[in-house]
Chains A and B, each alone.
Chain A
Amino acid sequence: KNQVEQSPQSLIILEGKNCTLQCNYTVSPFSNLRWYKQDTGRGPVSLTIMTFSENTKSNGRYTATLDADTKQSSLHITASQLSDSASYICVVKGYSTLTFGKGTMLLVSP
């Protein structure tokens, strides 16, 4: 069964600090992996999309890594800001289906 597991479930950090969110998946075949940011009351917004051959991809202060051998991905947030408070969802695409993780709820505290 295709699954995407995210950790931690929730996280509180101080403004300006860095953090790393984890994603493990068992989706096969693998097409690509996406990280989304979902603000409260809004739809998810894409941060990065990575294919099998990509190990790392950055979008501003967000850097995603992918290890296709171990089927793990991480999202690193640098110099966090209050506006980074949101749910971060890892999504893995097989041939035609998308499998969503439950998300990590991040709270950046002043």
Chain B
Amino acid sequence: EAGVVQSPRYKIIEKKQPVAFWCNPISGHNTLYWYRQNLGQGPELLIRYENEEAVDDSQLPKDRFSAERLKGVDSTLKIQPAELGDSAVYLCASSPQQGGGSYEQYFGPGTRLTVT
């Protein structure tokens, strides 16, 4: 079974440029998460989807970040324009279900973004 797929794995852009990350979750997983992980820190949730609905986007900087999961399967996270402080690893994860259960979260390898 394929795991969570993310692309690209690495991206280097200049500040003020746009950038997009793509994630394909594990087949059948209806919950999808985007996290940002700074060096030496734990992941921080940006947005969580249940199918195509964004149910928690309270930590997403909406002035420059946007995300979509149109058909409830794969998802795209966009930054426009990028700032130096956006340099981080962007992780995508999926799980069969959320709510109060102990459902396992499966992480992708992440996209390492460097803004110069």
Contact = CB atoms under 8 A, between A and B. Distances in A.
B44 interface: yes
A44 B91 CA distance: 9
Interface stretch (B14-22, B35-43, B60-68, B80-88): B35-43
Q: Which label, helix, strand, loop or mixed, suits the secondary structure of the B interface?
A: loop
Interface string B70-107: 00000000000000000000010100001110101111
A41 B109 CA distance: 7
A81 interface: no
Contact of B107 (A31, A43, A96): A43
Interface string A2-39: 00100000000000000000000000000110100000
Contacts of A1: none
A43 B42 contact: no
Interface in A41-83: 41-46, 49, 51
A103 B45 CA distance: 16
Given A102-B41, A102-B42, A45 B100 contact: no
A34 B44 CA distance: 15
Q: Which label, helix, strand, loop or mixed, suits the secondary structure of the A interface?
A: strand
Contact of B56 (A41, A96, A102): A96
A75 to B, nearest CB: 15
Interface of B: 4, 40-45, 56, 91, 93, 98-100, 102, 104-110, 112
29 contacts: A4-B42, A31-B102, A34-B105, A41-B109, A41-B112, A42-B110, A43-B4, A43-B93, A43-B107, A43-B108, A44-B43, A44-B91, A44-B107, A46-B105, A49-B104, A93-B102, A95-B100, A96-B56, A97-B45, A97-B56, A98-B45, A100-B42, A100-B44, A101-B42, A102-B40, A102-B41, A103-B40, A103-B41, A105-B40
What 10 pairs across the A-B complex have the smallest Cβ distances? Answer: A43-B107, A100-B42, A32-B102, A44-B107, A102-B42, A43-B109, A43-B108, A49-B102, A102-B41, A89-B42
